[in-house]
Amino acid sequence: MNALQRDLKKLVPLVESLGKADVEADPYRQQFHLQPPVGWLNDPNGLCVYGGQYHAFFQYGPFDVTGGVKHWGHAVSTDLMHWEPLPVMLYPDEPFDCHGVYSGSALIEGTEMYLYYTGNVKHPGDYDYIKQGRGHNVCLAVSHDGKTVASKQCLLYNKDYPAGLTCHVRDPKVFAYEGKYYMVLGARTLEDKGEVLVLESTDKLHWNHINTLTTPETFGYMWECPDLFCLDGQWYLAVSPQGIACQNVYGCGYFAVYGDWRGECTLGEFHEMDAGFDYYAPQSFVDENGRRIQIGWMGMPDADYGNAPTVAHGWQHCFTVPRLLTKGPGGTLLQTPVPELDARRSAAALTLRNGEEASLSPCFDLTAAPAGDFALTVARGVELVYTEQDSTCVLQFTDPAQASGRTQRRTKLSAPCRSVRVVGDRSSLEIFLNDGAAVFSTRYYPAAGDVAVKISGTDALVYSL
């Protein structure tokens, strides 16, 4: 253990214990979403099953509620709903990761946990840090117990990447497939084109670049946090592209991959993963039941969150509810909350009739089967409006006090909307349309206490969670 790690190992638990009372007193603290003990959270990292538990790591800034130098925070769960915080797994404590232990993934083999991540290094100097002056290293941490790190090393430096790239090469997702190991890495070329590098290895340590996945025309200048996975015979590439025209600061979506991603292949149409205000950098993993589960960050980089009320309580951001991914029609994905959420439902459901308003616990699960136009109002400030004529659903903030500069987000469905599910926690709404063909995720800050929910155009069934 080096001196920096010794200091950080003492400091992080100290700031966590000093901030605990304030964080826990926050009425907007979530009840069943993974959130940081204190400070800042962004991307999900290293999602996996190890030793019979779900492990989630997260980009964690314990010292700065608006970001700061990134660590890998750690939490475990047996039901994907209750998350037990564990001590930080990775600290920025080596020359190859000293300015941030950035995003990455986990590979589990027996009792070995391999954590691949990006070591962020900013060399001192007058750089713009795009083409020069920055190290984005692929690093490997090995754990024999899923709780502590036995070794850390740097596997790839910028010089090891293919020619023609900027310093922005990051977020390794590693998986085993057909007897070999593969890594996908997000990259930005010198021409400001976003792409994904595919690397291959036989020993988990030495990696060769074998392919590059991208669109024929430039689609954004950088693709962050790639994920490559197969559902029922169809491969998908999920990425968070920066620099595309989209509803949020940055985009987040997926392409169906046609052909062999190790060689000749093409990417299909880009589909937005989530049409809400707050969704980015999702990652997926397969659990012991063979389910592919995806978790996203319910936040957005470089968005103005200065007014988020949780900041005054010393914490910011959370993950989404874990979602089951399944293959949809025509190269699409379906995303639905994992069934573990249903186990939280109250025994009795309330029927909310067309035109009625009811006062609900902020933790609720509402389902409806509309036959045409409908509207749903939550906390008298957030509206979901569906118009059958153009199969379009709009999520909008009508109360300026809640909006904090937010206006509206919309999604056009490929079929008329026949199912709606709204999952509310104390400061978030996740809205699933047509069995997860479209999703809106957003944070919101209703006045403390129960929230008024009104539906028109259809009846709804509501459980408290």
Report the alpha-carbon distance of residue 222 to residue 202 in Å, rounded: 28
CB 414 within 8 A of CB 390: no
Report the alpha-carbon distance of residue 226 to residue 187 in Å, rounded: 10
With CA atoms as reference, report the closest residue to 284 among 49, 102, 52, 77: 49
Q: Which residue has the tokens 């009508």?
A: 398
Closest contact distance (angstroms) between CB of 373 and ligand FRU is 37
Among 33, 71, 134, 170, binds ligand FRU (CB under 6 A): 170
Of the residues 43, 97, 171, 274, which is catalytic?
43
Q: In the complex with ligand FRU, which residue's Cβ is closer, 272 or 365?
A: 272
Among 93, 94, 97, 171, binds ligand FRU (CB under 6 A): 171
Q: In the complex with ligand FRU, which residue's Cβ is closer, 42 or 336?
A: 42
Q: Is 451 in the site for ligand FRU (CB under 6 A)?
A: no
- CA 265 and chain centroid, separation: 26
Residue 383 phi, psi (nearest 5): -125, 140
Q: In the complex with ligand FRU, which residue's Cβ is closer, 268 or 301?
A: 301
Closest contact distance (angstroms) between CB of 429 and ligand FRU is 22
Q: Is 281 in the site for ligand FRU (CB under 6 A)?
A: yes
> Where in 108-167 is the site for ligand FRU (CB under 6 A)?
118
Report the alpha-carbon distance of residue 465 to residue 462 in Å, rounded: 9
Closest contact distance (angstroms) between CB of 250 and ligand FRU is 8
Q: Is 59 in the site for ligand FRU (CB under 6 A)?
A: yes
Among 70, 134, 317, 323, binds ligand FRU (CB under 6 A): 70
Q: In the complex with ligand FRU, which residue's Cβ is closer, 71 or 426?
A: 71
Among 50, 102, 221, 445, binds ligand FRU (CB under 6 A): 102
Report the alpha-carbon distance of residue 306 to residue 244 in Å, rounded: 24
Closest contact distance (angstroms) between CB of 30 and ligand FRU is 20
The DSSP annotation for 334-401 comes to EEEE-GGGGGGS-SS-EEE-TT-EEEE-SSEEEEE--SS-EEEEETTTEEEEEEGGGTEEEEEE--HH
Q: Is 225 in the site for ligand FRU (CB under 6 A)?
A: yes
- Edge-to-edge strand order for the sheet containing 451-456? 357-360, 451-456, 374-378, 382-387, 392-397, 408-412
Q: In the complex with ligand FRU, which residue's Cβ is closer, 118 or 189?
A: 118
What is the C-alpha R_g of the chain? Answer: 22
Q: In the complex with ligand FRU, which residue's Cβ is closer, 62 or 381?
A: 62
State the amino acid at position 119 in one-letter form: G
Binding mask 296-315 for ligand FRU (x = CB under 6 A): -----x--------------
CB 97 within 8 A of CB 117: yes
Residue 22 phi, psi (nearest 5): -65, -45
Q: Is 103 in the site for ligand FRU (CB under 6 A)?
A: yes
- CA 317 and chain centroid, separation: 11
Q: Map residue 410 onto helix, strand or coil.
A: strand
Closest contact distance (angstroms) between CB of 228 and ligand FRU is 16
Q: Is 248 in the site for ligand FRU (CB under 6 A)?
A: no
Q: Is 43 a catalytic residue?
A: yes
Closest contact distance (angstroms) between CB of 296 and ligand FRU is 11
Q: In the complex with ligand FRU, which residue's Cβ is closer, 198 or 385?
A: 198
Closest contact distance (angstroms) between CB of 171 and ligand FRU is 5
Among 93, 97, 195, 224, binds ligand FRU (CB under 6 A): 224
- Edge-to-edge strand order for the sheet containing 265-272? 222-231, 234-242, 253-259, 265-272
Closest contact distance (angstroms) between CB of 168 and ligand FRU is 8
Residue 435 phi, psi (nearest 5): 55, 35
Q: Binders of ligand FRU: how many residues, by CB under 6 A?
A: 14
Q: In the complex with ligand FRU, which residue's Cβ is closer, 105 or 377?
A: 105
Q: Which residues here bind ligand FRU, judged by CB under 6 A?
A: 42-43, 59, 70, 102-103, 118, 170-171, 224-225, 280-281, 301
Which residues are tagged catalytic? 43
